[in-house]
Structure 1
Amino acid sequence: MLQIKNISNSPVTEDESIIYEIRSLFPDFDKRLQDLIAGMSGCSPFLYGLVKKEINWIKNALTSTINPEAEIISEVLQSSDVTKSLRIAKGRIALWTALQDLSGNWQLEDVSKCLSDFADFSVKVALKTAIESIIAERKFSKLKNYNDAEQIGIFILAMGKLGARELNYSSDIDLVCFFDDEKVAEKDFFETRKAAIAVIKGVTKILSETTEHGYVFRTDLRLRPDPSVNPVCIGFEAAEKYYEALGRTWERAAYIKARYCAGSKTLAVKFLAALYPFVWRKYLDFAAIEDAHSIRIRYQRKIELKTISSILGHDVKLGLGGIRDIEFFTQTRQLIVGGRDPDLQVPETLVALVKLAEKGWVSTDTSKRLAEHYRFLRKVEHLLQMVNDAQTHTLPQTDDGFLRLANFLMLDRTVFKEKIINALKSVHDLTESFFNPEEGSIPKTVFPEGKTYRQDLISRWPSYPALRTARAEALFLKIQPIILEKLSNAVDADRALISFDKFLSLLPAGVQLFSLFNTNRQLIDLFIDIISSSDALSEYLSGNVQVLDAVIGGSFWSQWPGEKSLSQDLANTIAREQDYESQLNASRRWGKEWHFRIGVHLLRGVITPKMATGQYGELALATLKELWCLVNKQFAKKYGPSPGRGAVLIGLGSLGRKRLHSKSDLDLILIYDAAGVEASSGEKSIDSRTYYARLTKSMVAAIGAPMTEISLFQVDMRLRPSGNQGPVATSWEAFKHYQISEAWVWEHLALVNATIIAGPIGLQNDVSEFCESLKTLRPDEKVMSGLSIMRKRLYASQSMNENWSLKLGQGKLQDIELVSQMGIILTNERVSGVHSGLNALFKLKKICAEDLKYLINTYDMLTDVQILSKLLSNENILDSELGANGEELLLQHTDTQSLPLFFEKIREMTTKSAKIISNILPNPKEVYDER
């Protein structure tokens, strides 16, 4: 037979009369096919009735070369009586699916897809028919000029099992129906809504009403917003406002499976896009676990729960270890992480389990076992419904009932029951700990035994903003004993508790963080490590707890990806957002997570300070490159593309050297070349000078302006020609003139390490070559004397408060950087970086090998200390209380035994370095012109 190629299973029946009847009805079929039809007829009264009703159709379907599914659809489309033809078609689809399923020729996905595709088709036909009927009745004057759902503005979404194309044999179909209330005039609203409601009622009647030919699909419309109040079809805008203001976790989970089904596809796509932020949160949403667990408890209370060891009458869908537990486990994981990873935004349960394993959110073993159990339990569910075409999920109460189900699968009854019990138990074991992780692990008392804590601190915790809700307080009480236990085990327990108290006092809300800790308790160790070691990172964390999402993401401890990969990752992140503001906020969230990762890696010793400063630099450059593209694209929408040759963005200072710390500002300048073009060519044309000034301000705002997400970087543009007195964007010609005729020595020193971040290649090359040419603009003596007098003025203006600055002061970072830049200019080499500049001075015999090594060692140590001090504290390193962990980290990287010795070592090294630099430069008393 052409249409059933393999028969690997054949239901068993001992009813000789049915076997005889089937063989007489289908004498031309071979014995295997006769046994298949007889077996399924003996096991299912419903299928037996269909077989006898559709004898000729079965013969044609199984021998024809035409796909029966396509033929069934074609017959409906050609029929003048849709109500009748759909019902006949539904019976034939059920027969066809059962034959393929029970023969073993189809897998679960094939069966569900066939049923779901027919449901989709039925809804489309029913909607078209209902609209035609309403228009023909002429009850609604506003519809007289409309012909279809697209014009009327009605659309239907498939939800639940239909949305995921996972229908059962006797599933209800979950639909939500909407009309476009945005384009309707206020005076026409009520009539339009009334018409839309009438259409949807017509759809449900066509699908659900039982006639002499049966029914098509029972239709459930209760997944719409507030179904006890709202009609069966509600406005697009009203629904959007409801979800935005009142949407609950279970509704978010429901929309994971939502998809377009019928009506206006344009509106459906628009609506689902509008709901995207509601369904897919930008942060890891571990609070969803608590919500999902509450939902599970509620539906489990509605049914009479039975122990898995006694499965008579057990509900394979809602009971312990049932299908819903697998679906909730999967969907809740999707809700938690799907907003950050679009690959997980899939409606199918089995596909989602595979994706979750691929991304590391569940183990491969758990994914495979749950998928195996899901397939089996769904198979059992199919068989239960197949018997009498009843929407049931309840296992039989009798052994005879189990025998019937076992016969479907050619299994021994006892083996079949054991297989069900094993599947239910396994599912329960695999999912229960996820939804209820605290069971059996939380002490009965709030405080761990044998420990004493500062009650003056703990007693005020309930008054903090993070604990102001009952839900937050309940979650915190679950993790409080663990946190207190770990705080007491810290190197400096008292300071750790004080740090935690400060963190908690600054935390604006607690539900998400406490849920995260409750579900991922291994994170508490890292958290305690951070707050007990780094005041700066702890304070940052209190205002940006979402960065902890990255730790759970699976790749947090992976190797640093490099600037190119970072740029691509950020570009992908930006591309997923719908509007400019969302894109900017997304870029900031992305940047903060990578920034936090660098700090944690440094704190944990995964990377060295030298590696950290390079990573901070690459992160900044990747961010700036992608933001530049984004800002230019957005700016061009209003003002047109860049006039002339465009503009280049240049990084100076630490950014130019690609060596930053956690709190570095970004030194930027922008140079543009209008090339004689007077104005932009956009919808709103502006002169070129104004264009580039506004573009610069837009770029600065994109980096640092206040938004929903706080800025990662602040911009400093004082190094542009004429500093704050000059225009924010400098023309190419003005830049050249200024550098040749007006620039001070220090301004040319600053350009030594300039990095061109973004812009047209042609202009990049021109600017780069020009900056190189400036190295020979002045005689060597002029460069050295200019730096000498500049150095004198710098240190004369520095206050006593800067005595312990690692950057400012003689022999410190800035001093060494300036003299190294001078070395690069004097040798006119195409190099950058402090080490290169110091080596250039050695080549010029301005410095001996011993002094070269000393300056390099001093610079490297000061850089390490600066990186660490910015991570450990928000205060001056001399004034801050570093705590035991912070001190240990600092002393370890400077090879000293105590803080006094550490400070003494810095004094000695910077004092000697200052003398070395002074010996390189001429006496400032002998020079008069800093230019």
Structure 2
Amino acid sequence: MTTIHSQYFAVLDQLPDPYDRERADIGIKRLMEAAQKLPESEPKCDLLAVCQSPGASDLLGSMFGNSPFLTQAAVSEPGFLATLLIQGPGEAYHHAISPLKCGQIKPIRTIIPSQPAKTLRMVKRRAALTIALADIAGLWTEPRVVQAISELAELSISHCVKHLLRRAHETGTLILPDPENPEDGSGYIVLGMGKLGARELNYSSDVDLIVFYDPDAISTAAPLKLQQNLARLTRDLIQLLSERTEDGYVFRTDLRLRPDPSATPLAMSVEAAETYYEGLGQNWERAAMIKARQVAGDESAGDRLLERLAPFVWRKNLDFATIQDIHAIKRQINAHRGGDTISVEGHNVKLGRGGIREVEFFAQTQQLIWGGKHPELRQIKTEDALRMFAKKGLITGGTATELIGAYWYLRKVEHRLQMIADQQTHELPPDEEGLRHVATFLGNKNVDEFRKILTGHLSTVEEHYAQLFEEHSEIGRETAPGNLIFTGTDDDPSTLQTLTQFGFEDARAVADIIRNWHRGRHRAMRTERARQILTDLAPQLLAAFGTSPDPDGALRRFNGFLSALPAGIQIFSLFRENPSLLDLVAEVMGSAPRLASHLGRRPGLLDYVLEPEFYGPLPDERSLEQEIRGVLAAAPDYETCLDQSRIWTGDRMLQVGIHALRRLAPWNDISAAISDIAASVISALASQVHAEFSHQHGIIPGGQWMILGMGKLGGREMTPSSDLDLIVIYDHDAGAQASDGKKSLNPGQYYSRLTQRLINALTAPTAEGNLFEVDMRLRPSGTTGPIASHIGAFTKYHDESSWTWEHMALVRARAISGNERLIRQVNQVIEKTLTRSRDPAHLLADVAGMRERIDTEHRTGSILEIKHFRGGIVDIEFIVQYLQLMHAANHPSVLCANTADALESLAAHKLLDHSDAELLRKALLVFQSIQGHLRLTLEGQLDGRSVLMLPKPLQKSLADLGECSIPEDLETCLETKATRVFRTFKKILDDAPAG
């Protein structure tokens, strides 16, 4: 009589009960139906007979009633199941894997293309069924189970590699020394990592691989394409193993443990690997390499590689920062566990508190710490490492026994979870019914018994792990609301959640940026010490960036800042010693793109930022001009002079910008300081440009020139993004015909080209960036007139031809640079033009018409575009300039270039009602503050955005500047002010005398 193997009889009373008896009966019925369909060549009678023998229904019911996956596997392989039941798991396992142990690979031309994939999947299905039944029946221990799964994976990988190498040889891609044994001497190395390397795979494990090659050991007809060809071979390896076909898949395959996986090919040369690990290898990679083992390919080449990498993994000395980093690896796995208690429902037996990973890290961490000095601790298997710790006295024998017992029990639970439906899961069901299924499959009487056993083991692991790790303070605990871990290759879900809590929108992109820091992508991160310091700083750095108006943009700019650094230790140490500096840098990076760009080019400025004088009163225009003239005078050549002008301007703009961000000065002082910086650099550059120009073209007899600042520059009301409105005027001796240089020019050509050279000096981008954009359209005759005007032409134009709108522009004219006599002449022309008697009706019509044209061209419904919003800045400027032109003939002192000063002067002369002047002055300060802060903090246009569409920190800053308690009310507050301004505008122009 055909019966089940005697081994099964011995364990029948220990089998788990079927969780679902109906499903068990249906499974047995399906198996019988499958047996009837077996061809005569298969052991149909044996299967039918053995299934009806004593004990068979118990054995099959235990499997079918608990695992739909194993039911399907058995029904798919009825003939093999007969072998498994009759011969026992040992013989059946060897029979299952025998196709992979045949040694030699047949010539490719004799193999059906799909055959290797079909063979692999058949072997996997049969071996998995064998291992599972041996496990469920308790015939194999958990160590034997994981050993078998790992052997299956290793044989599968090796079989694929042999097949692919043989194919590469036969197609001429490679020249193998022994095509009958393709792996030998191939130079192709496949390392098994993680549980595969340790021979501890579970049922649904991925296999973690790293592929290297030794170019010196490989013969190829196309050496320049070697890496490309081997990367393609590796891609085919992944496909053979991972692709799901009608026969299933073999093993999911993961190559992300290789060095810097987002930037390196699938197959990497051994020289590149050694360079990477020696210079940029991280501690988590050292921990991963503990379990590295050759699983396929050229065994001797693999041994050589592992020997060369041993100094990276096993260091003689270890500092505290390295130990902290090792601990950070575990904190990534913890995934913000949500409290200090262990709960069974939904608990992750691999990653959760007291889980499998804590046992593994308990072992790996001590191996990293002590393995450099004690080679006997370099054990690949977790159990072997724990036993060796006890033998060396690093832990007690009791601790080792408890951890080993807990480890294998948790692995058993893990296996049962994965057997149910062949899912890569480690989480227990969140409900009572799901837990009853798991408890039944484990052979427990009820859920309470399972809960008691499981929590006992989890608590044991937790206690021992806590003694090793959690007495140490965690990096950033006081700053981060959750995990901030960037080791490994995968995003930590809790870290992504923490980044979101900090205020980042694209948490995955942020995590990727920081992971690249750890990989040494930037020069500043190439040293281990720099990476350690930045790891310490990460929580504070991210917390600081998270509070900026644009956290994601801030981090991107900081990443750009890091990419430009030649080294990192000094600056990172500066951040660590001065936390307030880190806050400031985060604020600049997130709030002021222009300042961030300059700081990225000039990281050395951070030392200056720490000086008390940086936050003192801003220097006046005279001091600034003296300073920049000295800087430019020291430049050895003209190109350096241009670079230095940009560096100096950026440095000074950074100081003013930080004063603005930190509210160290009111906005009218900020805009005056920006204007003074611009005026100083224009004046200093004008001298340098003229000197350089005269080397080639000489000078004009009696030649003089001067530069008028117009608009915001003239009124000292510039914002960080203001253009320079300029007019250039020149004069020379009456009889001067040409310059006296090697390339002589007549006066008109001379000053036109000199002016163009000045414009180029101000606008041309250099290695140190840009200075300003220049607008010359306010010159006489606008774009149709010459770029530089002779004083005579300038005088004649304004005596005879200039328009009212040009007179309005002249109100804000201010001499920036030039010959003192010529400046006086120009000022006289301007004063004469502005103080002439005017027809009130004509003036009113011109001003009103001009305002309507501007409104038509720039009309906006967004109050944040406060310059052109009705009742905004332009309306205030029109009120002032209208009144100035109306009354300058009798009151020339009202001709102030600055709008706020003009309001005060008009009120003092009783030409503007005091209450109206105060209303306009206060509104102007608020509007200019809002405009200036937006220009400082935002790149590009507002594009109609409302206040509440802006970043929240920016909303708050704007509300404060707008004298409003909450951001939600800011638009209403501004509109109220604008309404009052517009009402005043209409009152003044409507009440204007008609003549």
Higher-Rg member (1/2): 2
Q: Could you state the TM-score of these two structures normalised by the residue count of structure 1? A: 0.49
Q: Could you state the TM-score of these two structures normalised by the residue count of structure 2? A: 0.46
